[in-house]
């Protein structure tokens, strides 16, 4: 029997429903009455870093790099036709993506939601791999890998990760390499699918002018019961220190690009900590911040300057990125500013500006069905909830954000990755 829990936020005047489906799948439905657009995302807690694993305590399997992304591509090719062609008949816009820690399939539509949801739940539960189709996909994904090899934005980030991490697979391109994908077989794809595409390891999030009953009508019809299994992922020991502090590559670009990253001690990041880091990055990189103004006045950055925080099993990174006429000087000024800020602490005024900005962004995201459903996927896999995340931003304190500033950013454990204009 399905267990439905209503989660209400009187403060935000919104609610959502969590459904523990009898198949083993967790479903979230976030009603947005009056909205024309409907959005659904079906994800598994399986990404590019999960290349060594065991099932129910069995032997450890090691699979080729890029297989999670390869599997994502192959899922759309069904025995009875391409899933994209089926979506074309309903008018839905469909897509999918693989990240470091998850793979998701999604669509948005204005009508024929039931038919589109049926397509989604059907093809993701019906893998179809043959020697011929797998070999064909190797050429397609090989072209995609070469395309990313020609992308300066992609290379500047993975150059940073390769020089930051010694053994952790977060350093490996999500799509793998031409050599690694050549090792992929139908048997390996089925092994990964049967391990990670278990409904107990997945989540379905839906947002729009819908009720739980609307979603359950299709879910009850399409979901196949799954026996719960224990999945264990394995990662080689990763030292705390970065491999090297600097790496550069030449590309035909007009302005140098840079990624300046802090390798952070890995630990399970709590919802509260994530909210504090969100505010901290506003203090350090938002257009109203003192650091942004300092770099801008020195003509060391432009509007592309940004920051990011991403973490997962065995990796934890704070990243500053952008274009700069002098990336080394920009990185030095970022370092000097953070060092001084760690001594003096963030001012009350700047903290309040950043906290209100982060809170406003989080609230405004509740006006987008896409943002809602995507955030709920992240929350589910991180054992958080969307309302609680916003409340944590509202309740953050200056003292805690100052603590995060000092504990998170080790100025001796950084890597600067630069893309320079190619010489004639």
190-194: long-range pairs with CB below 8 Å, 24+: 190/127, 190/129, 191/61, 191/63, 192/46, 192/63, 192/67, 192/68, 192/71, 193/71, 193/127
Distances (CA, A) of 87 to 10, 154, 168, 176, 178: 37, 30, 37, 28, 30
pLDDT for the residue numbered 218: 98
CB 240 within 8 A of CB 164: no
Q: How far apart are CA 310 and CA 379, in angstroms?
A: 14
pLDDT for the residue numbered 424: 66
pLDDT for the residue numbered 267: 83
DSSP 225: P
Report which secondary-structure segment, H or E, holds 339: helix 327-344
Query: What are the φ and ψ backbone dihedral angles of 376, each rounded to 5 degrees?
Result: -70, -30
Q: How far is CA 24 from the centre of its chain?
A: 23
What average pLDDT values come out for the chain (424 residues) when binned by 10 residues? Answer: 94 94 98 97 98 96 97 91 94 97 98 97 95 88 90 96 96 95 95 97 98 97 94 94 97 96 91 96 97 98 96 95 98 98 98 98 96 97 94 97 96 98 84
Q: How far apart are CA 196 and CA 63, in angstroms?
A: 13
pLDDT for the residue numbered 351: 98
pLDDT for the residue numbered 95: 97
DSSP string, 147-183: HHHT-HHHHHHHHHHHHH-SS-GGGS-TT--HHHHTT
Q: How far apart are CA 334 and CA 352, in angstroms?
A: 21
Domains in the chain, CATH or no CATH each: 3-233 (3.30.830.10), 246-421 (3.30.830.10)
Q: How far apart are CA 419 and CA 254, in angstroms?
A: 10
The single residue of 22, 72, 79, 115 carrying the catalytic annotation is 72
Respond yes or no: is residue 248 known to be catalytic.
no
What is the pTM (predicted TM-score) of this model?
0.95
Cα 209–Cα 210–Cα 212 angle in degrees, nearest 5: 155
Give the CA dihedral 360, 383, 379, 355, nearest 10 degrees: 20
Helix (H, G, I), strand (E, B) or coil at 95: strand
pLDDT for the residue numbered 102: 98
């Amino acid at each position: 029997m399905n267990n439905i829990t209503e989660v209400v936020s009187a403060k935000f005047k919104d609610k959502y429903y969590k459904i523990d489906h009898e198949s083993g799948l967790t479903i979230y439905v976030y009603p947005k009455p009056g909205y024309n657009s409907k959005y659904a995302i079906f994800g598994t807690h399986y990404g590019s870093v999960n290349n060594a694993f065991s099932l129910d305590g069995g032997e450890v399997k090691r699979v080729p790099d890029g297989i999670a992304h390869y599997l994502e591509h192959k899922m759309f090719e069904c025995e009875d036709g391409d899933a994209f062609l089926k979506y074309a008949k309903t008018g839905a816009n469909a897509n999918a993506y693989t990240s470091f820690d998850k793979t998701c399939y999604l669509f948005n539509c204005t009508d024929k939601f039931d038919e589109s949801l049926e397509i989604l739940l059907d093809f993701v539960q019906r893998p179809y791999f043959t020697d011929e189709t797998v070999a064909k996909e190797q050429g397609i994904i090989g072209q995609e890998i070469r395309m990313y090899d020609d992308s300066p934005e992609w290379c500047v980030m993975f150059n940073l990760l390769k020089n930051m991490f010694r053994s952790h697979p977060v350093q490996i391109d999500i799509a793998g390499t031409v050599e690694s994908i050549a090792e992929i077989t139908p048997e390996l794809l089925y092994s990964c699918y049967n391990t990670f595409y278990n409904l107990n390891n997945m989540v379905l999030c839906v947002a729009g002018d819908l009720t739980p009953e609307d979603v359950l009508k299709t879910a009850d019809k399409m979901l196949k019961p799954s026996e719960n299994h224990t999945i264990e992922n394995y990662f080689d020991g990763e030292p705390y220190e970065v491999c090297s502090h600097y790496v550069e590559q030449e590309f035909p670009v007009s302005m140098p690009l840079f990624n300046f990253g802090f390798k952070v001690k890995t630990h399970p990041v709590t919802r509260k900590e994530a909210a504090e880091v969100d505010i901290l990055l506003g203090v350090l990189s938002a257009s109203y911040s003192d650091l942004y103004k300092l770099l801008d006045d020195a003509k060391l950055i432009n509007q592309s300057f940004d920051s990011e925080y991403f973490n997962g099993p065995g990796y934890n990174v704070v990243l500053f990125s952008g274009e700069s006429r002098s990336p080394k000087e920009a990185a030095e000024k970022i370092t000097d500013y953070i060092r001084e800020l760690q001594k003096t602490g963030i001012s009350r005024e700047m903290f309040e500006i950043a906290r209100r900005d982060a809170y406003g962004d989080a609230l405004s995201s509740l006006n987008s069905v896409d943002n809602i459903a995507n955030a709920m996927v992240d929350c589910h896999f991180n054992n958080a909830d969307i309302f609680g995340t916003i409340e944590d931003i509202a309740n953050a304190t200056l003292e805690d954000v100052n603590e995060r500033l000092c504990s998170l950013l080790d100025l001796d454990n950084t890597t600067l990755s630069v893309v320079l204009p190619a010489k004639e």
